Amino acid sequence: MSMQEWQMVITDLDGTLFNNNHEASLTDMKSLYWLGENNIIRVIATGRNFFSVSRVLKENFPIDYLIFSSGAGVYDWKKKKLIHSQFLPNNEVEQISKILINHQIDFMIHAMIPENHKFIYFRSGNLNSDFEERIKIYKDFAIELDKSKIQYEHACQFLAVFPNDINLFDEISTKFKDIKIIRTTSPLNGDSIWMEIFPVTVSKGHAVDWLCKKLNVDSSKTISIGNDYNDIDMLEYTAKKYVVSNAPEDLKNRFPLCKSNQENGFTDALDLNFDIH
């Protein structure tokens, strides 16, 4: 497909567009500007909540749309406007909480968008340094769940923190019905498994599909780049897809490869489809 026919490029943020210093390289920044100059829609799709994104991206960062919280929200970056969001109703929040508490899983319940950097948390008492680190990071916004007084409200999502034990993750996953479970490798220690629980219609792929329909972009004219399990729906949706070479082995065996996030992997994927340089 010629350059003129591609209409949208979607990239994950941490571990993909961002290098290990949580920065976009000068080379990748130039590529983002080049896409904009050539009228190609630039989208970041991240598991980060909006508050977390706003701490690492300046307001003038060269993108057009932001998909955040793994697809629960979509934001028009240029107009500075939330254009789409989803939530779990309070009855589902109660059901999910009881299952996780019964199995002594450490978890957080995040408030509805745009306040979804705020959460209440359940601490099982098991040793879980990754869970404690996340509470520490968000200490100004985190409140411990009081089981004697809890009143369940609508929520954006759950985030449960597991040890690196895929069997336990899979076992707990089977306890839920009609919800979306997204597996993510912890960005904090790179080892723990995060179980993100959303409404069944939430994923990066669903959000990209929603945005494509809103902007009248055909999926056959889209390219995505990712690095982790929460990118799978997005990668499967787009016409061209790549994972950076720092992705887990099973993803590298499943999708076409580009260079790592330390080697301008974003630009490398674009070079396979555009004449940038």
Among the three residues 199, 218, 241, which one is the final residue of a domain in this structure?
199
Tell me, yes or no, whether 277 lies in a domain. no
**pLDDT value at position 2?**
52
Looking at the fold, whether 192 and 211 belong to one and the same domain comes out as no
Looking at the fold, whether 121 and 178 belong to one and the same domain comes out as yes
**pLDDT value at position 151?**
84
**pLDDT value at position 276?**
82
**13 lies in which domain range?**
3-85+202-271
Among the three residues 174, 199, 224, which one is the final residue of a domain in this structure?
199
**pLDDT value at position 148?**
79
**pLDDT value at position 149?**
79
Looking at the fold, whether 214 and 191 belong to one and the same domain comes out as no
Domain of 258, CATH number, reads: 3.40.50.1000
Looking at the fold, whether 35 and 13 belong to one and the same domain comes out as yes
**pLDDT value at position 147?**
79
Residue 24 and residue 233: Cα distance in Å, rounded?
A: 24
Tell me, yes or no, whether 276 lies in a domain. no
Residues of the chain below pLDDT 70: 1-4, 277
pTM, two decimal places: 0.91
In the numeric block, which tokens belong to residue 190?
Answer: 């790179």
**pLDDT value at position 1?**
52
The number of domains in the chain is 2
**pLDDT value at position 3?**
55
The order of strands in the sheet holding 193-199 is 142-144, 119-122, 107-110, 157-162, 193-199, 179-185
Question: Would you say 123 and 131 are in contact if contact means Cβ atoms under 8 Å apart?
Answer: yes
CA of 111: how far to CAs of 25, 121, 160, 184, in Å?
Answer: 33, 11, 15, 20
- Residue 178 contacts by C-beta under 8 Å, 6 or more apart in sequence? 200
